[in-house]
A = this chain, B = another copy of it.
Amino acid sequence: MTEKSVEPAQRVNTTVKRIVEALLFAAEQPMSVAQLQAVFPELERPERVIIEAAVEALCDDYRNQAIGLHKVASGYRFQVKTDMADWVARLFSEKPPKYSRALLETIAIIAYQQPVTRGDIEEIRGVSVSSNMIHTLLDREWIKVIAHKEAPGRPALYATTAQFLDYFNLDSLAAMPPLQELQALALEGEMEI
């Protein structure tokens, strides 16, 4: 959460705040500070800190509302507070999509170990990875090909996208749940055969 209290109230330009509020609601995608800045005509473009102060003030304004401003990887967006999710879910007749274990494991490997080739994923999962799955992930724009490995066949190297983080409500890869530590090996002599 970016919700911090704003100290010097005079730094918040209320006009800018109001414009930023309208823009964030109207935009269909999260907006970064730079994107917000870019909407202003060049000559009256507020500095970064002004936009940031406006965003913080907005976070504060919506503190007690049913919706709030949230930061995800590609920028800020207004979203329904999580305690309201069950109510909102009642609005939609369609069940939210469920993802298979195979897909979740694949995206997890790409997220934690990126960049990885399909071979790397297969190595970790111990089974072959269907092209279908890779295409589904590319299609959802959760992953993208960032390069090709200098190896025979020049396999594609996959990495996750900002959209992936946006979907999972994260603002960076670092915000992902930490991987469990690997225990040290403690191999003792083999027992009864």
Whether A87 pairs with B23 at a CB distance below 8 angstroms is: yes
**Mask for A32-52, Cβ within 8 A of B = 1, else 0?**
000000110000000000000
> Measured between alpha carbons, how far is A128 from B19 in the docked complex, in Å?
39
> A10 near B: Cβ within 8 Å?
no
Whether A22 pairs with B84 at a CB distance below 8 angstroms is: yes
Shortest CB distance A146–B (Å): 15
Residue of B nearest to A93 (CB): B39
Given A23-B91, A127-B132, 11 new contacts (CB under 8 A): A19-B66, A19-B84, A19-B87, A21-B67, A22-B81, A25-B66, A26-B80, A26-B91, A100-B141, A125-B139, A126-B132
Q: Which residues of A approach B to under 8 Å, CB–CB?
A: 18-19, 21-23, 25-27, 38-39, 61, 65-67, 78, 80-81, 84, 87-88, 90-92, 94, 100-102, 125-128, 131-132, 135-136, 138-139, 141
